[in-house]
């Protein structure tokens, strides 16, 4: 019988979700959708010391914003609720006990001092300083103490942890869907703590138990968890769950733009791109980190960009809607090597999606910006501005920033154009053209163009030498949307006023 695909994204709420984590969530989402399976969000908050208020809400909000919300999770509920590990604490202990009873785990009573002494001793002997098959026999645990002593300590309430008992010499092998066969020798591993002194599980125990109980079929997660995977494989085996052990897929890292090391929060701040999906206001330090959403990225663009950072479609296509990603995605095409983050490419993706986005939807998004600037214009006018400006920019707010002259007279004039092309002769021509345009029957792009051409023919002036100055007079800028369309949209009165007052305004500005 084939099992229904069930995958999970299992972040710890220790801060804002890194964009690499978002990619992990996305690959899980795509895999689940592709195979008609379930995508689960599990909050791994067993480590209360690292808990950060607001981080869980941040995770939910990020997935919602990106339109990749889970099928089951803390917000959605589901058959395996609760989805927050801190609310499942009662369930883990029995499995630790089961492992002890089966001889695969043991009680360890060592104090912090005992552990330090052990580490120093091993370091002095130039041995790996770890609690393992070799060192555990000189420590205070249920393998070295008598049964009576162990029972006495337990009854006495002495503090202890439960550690896994790793075999001394064994190769742990498992097949990773991205990396192929992974083989790790237990001599390289250590007897990890499964249950802590406070009776709470560590990540390893809680993660494996929940993946089993939640019937997870594929564990798709970041490469940083690869070293933990052999331990998890042994836990599945020792708990008797090997038959239904999930398949593993460890995703390579998202690298800094220069490829040297993992993309970090600092890189974003330094190089001017966000590394978090949403803006994050750190509750402790008050530090604010920028987010894709607040920086004007469209969720579709972020998803498309992330999908291609580490996964390669079979052709060279770059633009994929979410549905198309679902269709095309496969773990076989996930790359083993790290993917370099490329800020220019991120902006390029945003531009592509901005171009596709409906003008009326963009209009709704810039409404506030227009109000803040005291600009008022009809819906049709705003949409026409958007239609002209979106080709020129990468982000929605830039439409109003770069196209402000659609709403007010230019406040500055491109210096280069002024220096190169603005002179008395040009001013004279511009005034004449303004006159002609003022008396046009219809102020349309076609009429404007033909009237200008006639003027150029009559005066013998090179039309090219006037185009940029006209644009300058009307918009202040050296470039922009197609000139006659722009002028027609601005309207007769505005254009004539700007053309006839430009000389004075430029002189005032440059004096």
What is the set of active-site residues? 265
Stretch that binds ligand GLU, among 4-12, 233-241, 274-282, 436-444 (CB under 6 A): 4-12
The yes or no reply on residue 205 touching ligand GLU (CB under 6 A) is no
- Nearest to 226, CA basis, from 113, 338, 144: 338
The residue among 223, 255, 252, 224 whose CA lies nearest residue 341 is: 255
Residue 181 has a CB neighbour count (10 Å cut-off) of: 8
- Round to whole Å and give the CA distance between 472 and 188: 70
Q: Which two tokens stand for residue 353?
A: 């999606």
Give the integer Cα–Cα distance in Å for 244 and 236.
9
* Residue 375 within binding range of ligand GLU, rule CB under 6 A: no
Choose one: 7-15, 160-168, 427-435, 490-498; the region binding ligand GLU (CB under 6 A). 7-15
Which DSSP letter does residue 392 get? G
Point out which span in 9-17, 142-150, 434-442, 454-462 binds ligand GLU (CB under 6 A): 9-17
- Provide the H-helix boundaries in 17-143: 19-34, 55-65, 89-101, 112-124
Contact 167, 200 (CB under 8 A): no
**Considering beta carbons, is residue 163 or 221 the nearer one to ligand GLU?**
221
Q: Establish if 221 lies at the interface with ligand GLU (CB under 6 A).
A: yes
488, 399 in Cβ contact below 8 A?
A: no
Tell me whether residue 136 or residue 218 sits nearer to ligand GLU (CB atom). Answer: 218
Q: Give the interface size with ligand GLU as a residue count (CB under 6 A).
A: 7
Out of 11, 15, 246, 274, the only residue in the binding site for ligand GLU (CB under 6 A) is: 11
Whether residue 385 contacts residue 491, with contact meaning beta carbons closer than 8 Å, is answered with no
Single residue of 65, 78, 98, 225 touching ligand GLU by CB under 6 A: 225
Instruction: Work out whether 45 is an interface residue with ligand GLU (CB under 6 A).
Output: no
Distance in Å, CB of 141 to ligand GLU, minimum: 27
What six digits make up the tokens of 313? 């479609």
Using the contact rule CB under 6 A, the part of the chain among 10-18, 89-97, 134-142, 254-262 near ligand GLU is 10-18
- DSSP secondary structure, 347-378, as one string: HHHHHHHHHHS-HHHHHHHHHHHHHHTT----
Phi, psi dihedrals of residue 476, rounded to the nearest 5°: 80, -10
**From the list 38, 44, 190, 191, which residue makes contact with ligand GLU (rule: CB under 6 A)?**
44
CB of 143 to ligand GLU, least distance (A): 29
Token pair for residue 486?
């722009």
Toward ligand GLU, which CB reaches closer, 222 or 313?
Answer: 222
Instruction: Tell me if 10 contacts ligand GLU by CB under 6 A.
Output: yes
- The reply to whether 484 sits near ligand GLU by the rule CB under 6 A is no
Q: Considering the rule CB under 6 A, would residue 12 count as an interface residue with ligand GLU?
A: yes
Q: Judged by CB, which is closer to ligand GLU: 12, or 186? A: 12
Kindly state the DSSP code that residue 256 receives in the 8-state scheme: P
**By CB under 6 A, is residue 223 in contact with ligand GLU?**
no
Task: Please name the helix (run of DSSP H) or strand (run of DSSP E) that holds residue 220, with its range, or none.
Answer: strand 218-222
* Nearer of residues 10 and 434 to ligand GLU, judged by Cβ: 10
| C-alpha triplet 428, 433, 438: angle, nearest 5° | 130
Instruction: Choose between 225 and 381: whose C-beta lies nearer to ligand GLU.
Output: 225
* Contact region with ligand GLU (CB under 6 A), list: 8-16, 177-185, 286-294, 347-355: 8-16
Q: In a 3-state reduction of DSSP, which class is residue 474?
A: helix
| Closest distance of CB 219 from ligand GLU, Å | 6
Q: According to CB under 6 A, which one of 142, 207, 295, 350 is a site residue for ligand GLU?
A: 207
Q: Tell me if 85 contacts ligand GLU by CB under 6 A.
A: no
- Sign of the Cα pseudo-torsion (454, 455, 457, 461, in order): negative
Q: Which of 108, 87, 84, 86 is nearest to 96 (CA)?
A: 108
Could you list the residues that contact ligand GLU (CB under 6 A)? 10-12, 44, 207, 221, 225
């Amino acid at each position: 019988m084939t099992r229904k695909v069930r995958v999970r994204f299992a972040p710890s709420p220790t801060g804002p979700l890194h964009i690499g984590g978002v990619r992990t969530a996305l690959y899980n989402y795509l895999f689940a959708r592709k195979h008609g399976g379930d995508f689960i969000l599990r909050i791994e908050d067993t480590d209360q010391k690292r808990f950060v208020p607001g981080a869980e809400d941040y995770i939910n909000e990020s997935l919602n914003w990106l339109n990749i919300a889970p099928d089951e999770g803390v917000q959605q509920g589901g058959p395996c609720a609760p989805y927050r590990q801190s609310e499942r604490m009662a369930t883990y202990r029995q499995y630790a006990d089961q492992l002890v009873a089966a001889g695969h785990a043991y009680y360890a009573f060592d104090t912090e001092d005992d552990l330090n002494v052990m580490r120093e001793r091993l370091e002095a002997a130039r041995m790996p300083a770890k609690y393992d098959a070799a060192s555990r026999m000189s420590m205070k645990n249920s393998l070295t103490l008598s049964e009576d002593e162990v029972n006495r300590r337990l009854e006495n309430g002495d503090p202890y942890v439960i550690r896994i008992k790793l075999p001394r010499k064994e190769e742990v092998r498992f097949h990773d869907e991205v990396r192929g066969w992974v083989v790790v020798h237990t001599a390289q591993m250590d007897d990890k703590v499964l249950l802590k002194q406070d009776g709470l599980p560590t990540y390893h125990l809680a993660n494996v138990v929940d993946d089993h109980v939640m019937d997870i079929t594929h564990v798709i997660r970041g490469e940083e968890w690869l070293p933990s995977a052999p331990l998890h494989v042994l836990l599945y085996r020792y708990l008797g769950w090997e038959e239904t052990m999930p398949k593993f897929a460890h995703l390579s890292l998202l690298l800094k733009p220069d490829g040297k090391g993992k993309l970090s929060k600092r890189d974003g701040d330094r190089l001017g791109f966000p590394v978090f999906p949403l803006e994050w206001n750190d509750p402790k330090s008050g530090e604010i980190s920028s987010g894709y959403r607040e920086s004007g990225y469209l969720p579709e663009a972020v998803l498309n960009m992330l999908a291609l950072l580490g996964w390669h479609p079979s052709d060279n296509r770059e633009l994929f809607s979410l549905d198309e990603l679902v269709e095309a995605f496969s773990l076989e095409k996930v790359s083993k090597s790290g993917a370099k983050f490329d800020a220019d490419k991120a902006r390029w993706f945003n531009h592509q999606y901005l171009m596709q986005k409906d003008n009326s939807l963009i209009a709704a998004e810039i409404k506030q910006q227009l109000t803040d600037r005291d600009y008022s214009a009809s819906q049709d006018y705003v949409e026409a501005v958007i239609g002209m400006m979106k080709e020129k920019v990468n982000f929605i707010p830039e439409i109003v920033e770069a196209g402000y002259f659609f709403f007010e007279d230019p406040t500055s004039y491109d210096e280069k154009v002024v220096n190169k092309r603005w002179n008395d002769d040009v001013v004279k021509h511009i005034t004449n053209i303004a006159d002609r345009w003022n008396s046009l029957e219809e102020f349309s792009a076609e009429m404007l163009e033909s009237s200008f051409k006639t003027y150029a023919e009559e005066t013998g002036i090179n039309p090219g030498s006037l185009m940029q100055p006209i644009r300058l007079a009307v918009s202040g800028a050296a470039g922009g949307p197609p000139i006659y369309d722009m002028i027609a949209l601005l309207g007769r009165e505005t254009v004539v006023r700007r053309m006839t007052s430009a000389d004075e305004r430029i002189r005032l500005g440059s004096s």
